[in-house]
């Protein structure tokens, strides 16, 4: 069963006075004549807009120092493209296909053979097979 604090005007005034003097929410909760949690104090402070965050209004926040030095990025080694070999007239097997090869199947029986010509951008096929695949 949840417990709700009985916030009388005297208790609210005491909380505000202590908050503005710089007491923490835990310290304020310990000084009240009723048992409340620090979260109850923080909730009261925020609902009444007495301060920002967990610090009283009068305390300006200091920027925190950098904790970690930035490391230089590792030097990237350029990846050289594979030299392109001419495609044999019968086509390429699945295991011979590379990223730039057309994936149009040239056979319907095992072992499957694919076109292998250079494909166009944003397609799995060369220009001729792309047109054939997307006829209207």
pLDDT of residue 1: 42
Q: Which of 32, 31, 54 is nearest to 42 (CA)?
A: 54
- Does pLDDT of 16 surpass 60? yes
This prediction's pTM: 0.39
pLDDT of residue 135: 83
Cβ burial of 41 (10 Å; 0-12, 13-18, 19+) is: buried
With b for 16 or more beta-carbon neighbours within 10 A and e for fewer, the 85-122 pattern comes to eebeeebbeeeeeeeebbbbeeeeeeeebbbbbebeee
pLDDT of residue 18: 92
pLDDT of residue 52: 57
- Does pLDDT of 120 surpass 80? yes
pLDDT of residue 109: 75
Each residue of 82-97: pLDDT tens digit? 677 788 888 888 888 8
What SS3 class is residue 60?
coil
Nearest 5°: CA angle at 85, between 84 and 89? 135
Average pLDDT over residues 96-108: 87
Each residue of 20-76: pLDDT tens digit? 999 999 999 999 888 899 999 999 999 888 875 545 455 666 777 766 667 777 777
| CB < 8 Å & 24+ apart, contacts of 124-132 | 126/102, 129/102, 129/104, 132/104
């Amino acid at each position: 069963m949840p417990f709700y604090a009985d916030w009388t005007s005297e208790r609210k005034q005491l909380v505000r006075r202590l908050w503005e003097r710089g007491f923490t929410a835990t310290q304020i909760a310990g000084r009240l004549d009723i048992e409340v949690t620090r979260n109850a104090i923080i909730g009261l402070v925020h609902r009444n807009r007495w301060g920002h965050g967990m610090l009283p209004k009068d305390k300006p926040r200091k920027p925190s120092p950098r904790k970690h030095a930035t490391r230089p990025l590792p030097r990237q080694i350029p990846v050289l493209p594979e030299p392109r070999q001419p495609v044999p007239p019968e086509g390429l097997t699945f295991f011979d296909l590379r990223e730039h090869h057309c994936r149009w199947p040239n056979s319907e029986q095992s072992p499957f053979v694919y076109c292998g010509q250079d494909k166009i951008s944003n397609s799995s096929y060369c220009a001729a097979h792309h047109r054939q695949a997307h006829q209207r």
